Amino acid sequence: MNPPDDLDRRLVIATQAGLPLVPRPYDALAAQLGVSAEVVRARLAAMLENGRIRRIGAVPNHYALGYTANGMSVWDVDDARIVELGEAVGRLPGVTHCYERPRALPDWPYNLFAMVHGRDRATVLAQVETIARLLGAACRARDVLFSTAILKKTGLRIGRGGGDGAAY
């Protein structure tokens, strides 16, 4: 894989906070960068294909949509089945993301995490019960950690200056 050129870098900087909220976002980016919309599309597609960027997608604000109960369910799952079970949990409606993390024994036995959103805690807890039924005997322990504050999430940010390319 060749290192990114100046146009790729400028395109990432122009889109890292999101696509322009206009009817034709690729045209707006093209005008900003001094290239055609076809070049913008081709460059983004190439960066997706080679793994420089992971995805292009909408990120809804679940609070604004009324989903104000947010529970990170954590599970102590049989390591021999974690991939199979994690994929099954990740496909459930109401689970926005699901991933494996290392345990931190003896205090933290959990190795499977699944974020669940609902309009209230009872809805989240009902979804957690669905996960528990799916995991069955492969699950040895569990907990739910509810959000208490809204935190702004951002991905990696590339600095606009030159030099070492440090991220902020």
Q: What is the pLDDT of residues 11-44, one digit of tens each?
A: 999 988 888 889 999 999 999 999 999 999 999 9
80 within 8 A of 126, measured Cβ to Cβ: no
* Cross-sheet strand order for the sheet of 69-77: 95-100, 112-118, 69-77, 139-146
Tens of pLDDT, residue by residue over 91-147, are 998 898 899 999 999 999 999 999 999 999 999 999 999 999 999 999 999 999 998
91 and 134 in one domain? Answer: yes
The parent domain of residue 13 ranges over 6-49
Interatomic CA distance for residues 142 and 61, integer angstroms: 27
What is the domain-level CATH number for residue 91? 3.30.70.920
Is the domain of 76 the same as that of 125?
Answer: yes
Question: Do residue 79 and residue 42 come from a single domain?
Answer: no
Q: 84 and 138 share a domain?
A: yes
In a domain, 60, yes or no: no
Domain count, the chain: 2
